[in-house]
Amino acid sequence: MSKMTLYGIWLSGPTYKAGLAMSLMGQPFAYKHVDLRAGAHKQPEYLAINRFGQVPALVDGDLKLCQSGSILLYLAEKFGKMGGKTPEEKARVREWLFWEFDRLAPNVYRPRAMKRGFMKLDDNLYALYTTNANDALKVLDGALATSKFLVGSEPTIADVAVYGDVAYATEAAIDLSPYPNVKGWMERLEKLPGFKPYEDVLPKQDAA
Ligand SMILES: N[C@@H](CCC(=O)N[C@@H](CS)C(=O)NCC(=O)O)C(=O)O
């Protein structure tokens, strides 16, 4: 079976989610660097892989997939791992995936992009995003008060997706100290076999 190929850029949170899921599932993958600064994601060759002109994309044989949440669901289904065990758990996983890209991801990624100098935001907008991020972190902290992982008793792609947001909070200058349950959960995930921080999961250039 040939390796799947992940297309992305190492600074991208959604690309990290896909790479981290494969790493936790013990699935090696080839990697193609997409140079966003040079506009490679808007060129016809890349648009033929991801019609939305964004990273990540995952190519598995003839199949071209995009949207990190959808990629995570595909990986869980394909490898029978981290997708939840029962119909209810699978539904809860999807709930977290839809919630995190609505309430958490943009409110962490945009302030982070501002702090790292990738995006210009005025102070009011920065304050709005980080207020929203803190609201979402409160919800997350509450959910993790009584359970080790977000769904069921084992880690799932819901944890991967949400971790792939919270992992950038510090770079966004969002303080996680008011959220002890979130911090404890992050530490649990960071001890899992196959866990790697984003700098180690995603190569800086193409990799076979
Ligand atoms: N909802 C998408 C978001 C992907 C996304 O925002 N990717 C960014 C990089 S982190 C991107 O490609 N930005 C370039 C653009 O949108 O033109 C996913 O989860 O895959």
Tell me which of 1-5, 85-89, 92-96 is least confident.
1-5
In this structure, is residue 66 part of a structural domain?
A: yes
Indicate whether 95 and 32 sit together in one domain. no
Residue nearest to atom 14 of ligand 1 (CA): 54
For the stretch 164-204, pLDDT in tens is 999 999 999 999 999 999 999 999 999 999 999 999 999 99
Residue 208 lies in a domain: no
23 and 50 part of one domain: yes
**Which pLDDT belongs to residue 2?**
85
Name residues contacting ligand 1 (CB within 6 A): 12-14, 36, 41, 53-56, 67-69, 101
Q: Give yes or no: residues 103 and 153 share one domain.
A: yes
155 part of a folded domain: yes
| Domain boundaries, position 51 | 4-81+195-201
Alpha-carbon span 170 to 38, nearest angstrom: 27
Q: Is residue 157 part of a domain?
A: yes
- Minimum CA distance residue for ligand 1 atom 19: 68
pLDDT of 1 > 90? The answer is no
- Examine the domain organization and report whether 91 and 173 are in the same domain: yes
State the chain's mean pLDDT as an integer: 97
Of 12, 42, 54, best ligand 1 pocket probe by most atoms within 8 Å of the beta carbon: 54
Question: 207 in a domain, yes or no?
Answer: no
Our CA angle for 126, 130, 133, nearest 5°, is 145
For residue 90 the two structure tokens come to 């699978």
Measured CA to CA, the distance from residue 126 to residue 72 in angstroms comes to 29
**pLDDT of amino acid 152:** 96
Tell me, yes or no, whether 19 lies in a domain: yes
Measure 145 CA to ligand 1 centroid, in angstroms.
Answer: 31
Examine the pLDDT at 163 and tell me if it is beyond 90.
yes
Same domain, 112 and 165: yes
In this structure, the answer to whether residues 61 and 95 fall within a common structural domain is no
The dihedrals phi and psi of 181, each to the nearest 5 degrees, come to: -70, -35
What CATH number does residue 171 fall under? 1.20.1050.10
Ligand 1 centre to CA of 147 (Å) is 30
Residue 86 CA to ligand 1 center (angstroms) comes to 30
* Total domains in the fold of the chain: 2
Shortest-distance atom of ligand 1 to CA 36? 14
Please indicate, yes or no, if residue 95 is contained in any of the structural domains: yes
**Residue nearest to ligand 1 atom 12, measured at CA:** 54
In ligand 1, the atom with minimum distance to the C-alpha of 54 is 12
- 15 CA to middle of ligand 1, Å? 8
176 part of a folded domain? yes
Which of 172, 103, 188 is CA-nearest to residue 138? 103
Handedness of CA 105, 111, 115, 121 (dihedral sign): positive
